Structure 1
Amino acid sequence: MLEILIDNRNGKVWDITSIVPSLTYKTKRIGSASSLSLTLIKGSLFQSDEFTVNSGDVIRVMKDGTGVFYGYVFEIDSGMDESVSITAYDQIRYLLANDSYVFKNNTASEIVKKIADDFELRLGTISDTGYKIPSMAEKDKKLLDIICKALDLTLINEGGNFFLYDNFGKLSLRNIKEMKLDIVVGDWSLMDDYGYKRSIDSDTYNHIKVFQDNKKTGKRDIHVGQDSANIAKWGRLQLYQQADEKMNEAQIKTLVDQLLTLKNREQRTLSIDAIGDLRVRAGCYIPVVIQELDISQYFLVEDCTHKFDADTHTMSLELRVI
């Protein structure tokens, strides 16, 4: 059973479960805060005259005693009728602020901790990402973009695939390998419908060109890696990016090889509409079985939307092969 509470942060906490006819909870793996959108009915028979909802109020959603969402009211939309629409976000919303940072020989974990400390955000489990990033100088950038860049650099340098999320009011950083669920979705299990897409139109590259400005010679050094077979099939799909000035030739060659391994493949995405299970959120691995597509494997949840309407709970998943 769901429980929905609003904390006015002045000592008053309201249980609004009975006056919320619909609720939508969304999570994204990269670049966005989790959001909660709900509609409540004002002026109900048993509602206290003191009941209010204000910007910055805390909203907590629990399911059978387990925390689902902990966030803050950012938008209240009301009119002459009895319905009030509320939108809340978790702590990651505060990472959309801009600032400037310089890091040297720090791990992504240390970068997350530093930024969270500076902005007084609560921390939960922060896994050690291991790889020390030689340098990052970020001027007037979104805090979340800075963190995502650090995580991308960690992945490219074989430090592992980590993701940042808010775990019921605490920022957490976990390796996606730690987030496997044993909930099977697919034929005869939760799934109502699916869509399957294969694409080389986004984030697929078979020709990698990494450059570095050589201060000694005054020239630009170019390092190239490619898959000739895939170029013959798809045409040349080029990724062009700059290497850190402190990287040596061997390190740049390793970077080119790693980028080619990561990017030189057809992107496969799967969307599923299913009966809802709140254990599923963006960043989790779930096993999917669809006989028609000859699929029986784990997929990474990129986006997850849970919808509650009366007694119905459904979820929509955007999944990706890793």
Structure 2
Amino acid sequence: MSYSLTAITKNSTQQLEPGPSVPGQKVTLSKNMTNCTTKISITTQRFNSASKMTFSCVENSGIALEEGSMVQFVDNGTQIFQGFIFTAQRSLGGEVEYTAYDQTYYLKAKASYTFTNMTLEQIITQLATDFGLTIGTLEPTGYVFPCLIKDNTECLGMIYDALSTVIVQTGKIFVFYDDFGKLTLKEVKNMLVQQMLGNKSLVTDYTYKRDISSETYNRIKLVRPNKETGRGEVFMHDDTETQAKWGLLQYYDTVDENLNDAQIDELCQNYLAYYNRVVQSINISAMGVTGLRAGNIIPVRISQIATLSANRLLLAEKVTHNYEGANIHTMSIEVKNFEQLGGASWI
């Protein structure tokens, strides 16, 4: 096999491997799960979700791995996934399916924070420190939040909400993820994959879709609260051309009362530039490419789709890798909004 799956259990009273043991003694145990594993699935998403791995093993009795055990998956020498067992279920036939999530799962805890004059990198660092998580590379975004208040909110949601604001304010796309046990923030221009995907290059099937039913808006309406008058001050930008074609699709939100008129007006313009488009998406089934994950930029060419008939760089929203047996490795990739990325010049 080209891959390996290792489980590490700390402070365990179980015995995963044969040999002498002391009853009640807590030890750190390591077990190679590769040969007993029948199938593995690893899913990464660009927004709002921890990376997830499920794998199935045939075990003689019981459930071998304890909750909280660390699992590490390496393919062809590339470190793919590190996470922790959260669920295990056994069938009558002796097959046990485990589900593991990476360390960002711990940020699903709710909390209340006020971040003042902080960058996204600093926000991630504070949350990681508070929850005892490991930090890796955090690339600078160049944007400072004057004041970001989050009350009784999932910490992971705080990060992704802030990330969305950074993308709109800077015009740069960043990806937050766990890189084999290290919290990472990277600009997608630094995550280009060289392998071309297309009709004659790894792709086995695809589904293409055009949509304005969600995440498309041609009116942006932002309201700034005014405590003195008790009424909100409205800021609005329209695109009458697309309104004539699609109807009026309104985005509405409230903004920080400390933002001035120019800042809110700029925010309206940025939102309209981002959301005033047809959302194009494509789901691709292909032979597996080791290490490809959500957030990667992928060169794609599919002759039957006009907007993809020439080489295009697509941003992977969701990627699932499936391994079965020793030699089968396939993947599915979800991509959307690729009309805004353009071609190679975008990088």
Measured against aligned partners, the alpha-carbon deviations of 1:225-265 in whole angstroms (never above 9, x if no partner) come to 01000000000000111121111111111111001000100
Instruction: State the partner residue of 1:42.
Output: 59
Contact 1:131 1:159 in 2 (8 A): no
Instruction: State the partner residue of 1:91.
Output: 103
- Determine the C-alpha separation between the residues in 2 that align with 1:299 and 1:202: 20
Which of 121, 130, 137 is the aligned partner of 2:149? 137
Q: Which amino acid aligns with 2:328?
A: T
Measured against aligned partners, the alpha-carbon deviations of 1:145-165 in whole angstroms (never above 9, x if no partner) come to 111111111112126221210
CA offset at residue 69 of structure 1?
0.7
Instruction: State the partner residue of 1:4.
Output: 5
List alignment gaps of at least 5 residues for structure 1: none
Q: Percent identity?
A: 34
Contact 1:129 1:159 in 2 (8 A): no
Contact 2:288 2:331 in 1 (8 A): yes
Q: Which amino acid aligns with 1:189?
A: S
Instruction: Determine if the alignment matches structure 1 residue 80 to structure 2 residue 95.
Output: no
CA offset at residue 11 of structure 1?
2.5
The correspondence of residues 1-322 of structure 1 with structure 2, limited to 5 A, is 1-9=2-10, 10-43=27-60, 52-158=64-170, 160-294=172-306, 295=308, 296-310=311-325, 311-320=327-336, 321=338, 322=340
Instruction: State the partner residue of 2:17.
Output: none
Instruction: State the partner residue of 2:343.
Output: none
List alignment gaps of at least 5 residues for structure 2: 11-26, 341-347
CA offset at residue 43 of structure 1?
2.7
Contact 2:221 2:237 in 1 (8 A): yes
- Determine the C-alpha separation between the residues in 1 that align with 2:109 and 2:230: 37
- Determine the C-alpha separation between the residues in 2 that align with 1:197 and 1:154: 27
- Determine the C-alpha separation between the residues in 2 that align with 1:65 and 1:293: 36
Q: Which amino acid aligns with 2:151?
A: K
- Determine the C-alpha separation between the residues in 2 that align with 1:79 and 1:236: 52
- Determine the C-alpha separation between the residues in 2 that align with 1:79 and 1:308: 20
Let me know the Cα RMSD of the aligned residues: 1.5
User: Which deviates further from its counterpart, 222-231 or 158-167?
Assistant: 158-167
Contact 2:5 2:33 in 1 (8 A): yes
Q: What TM-score, normalized by structure 2, do the two folds share?
A: 0.88
* Pair 112,159 (structure 1): closer, same or farther in 2 beyond 3 Å: farther
User: Which deviates further from its counterpart, 93-102 or 149-158?
Assistant: 149-158
Contact 2:78 2:290 in 1 (8 A): no
Q: Which amino acid aligns with 2:332?
A: S
Q: What TM-score, normalized by structure 1, do the two folds share?
A: 0.95
Contact 2:111 2:151 in 1 (8 A): yes
